[in-house]
Amino acid sequence: MKNLRLKAARAGLDMSQDDLAKKVGVSRQTISAIEKGDYNPTINLCISVCKALDKTLDELFWEE
């Protein structure tokens, strides 16, 4: 499932996939794969992404 909330949060901060990737210590391809729903990140990576985007786990990763 695509993660449009992650993409929107990143874009809302005018941050590229590469910017976010560097901030959390992964490749741009990893961020792209998470946004496309092709990669299920570890909880530690989820937490790092949330901190980088100033969001909660629920806001970015919880599926209804």
Digit-coded pLDDT (tens) for 20-45: 999 999 999 999 999 999 999 999 99
Q: Check: CATH 3.20.20.120 for 4-57?
A: no
Every domain of the chain and the residues it spans? 4-57
Residue type, 18: D
pLDDT for the residue 7? 96
Alpha-carbon span 62 to 13, nearest angstrom? 20
For the chain, give the mean pLDDT: 96
Q: Give the model's pLDDT for residue 1.
A: 84
pTM of the model: 0.92
Sequence-distant contacts of 29-33: CB under 8 A, at least 24 apart: none
pLDDT confidence bin for 63, thresholds 50/70/90: confident
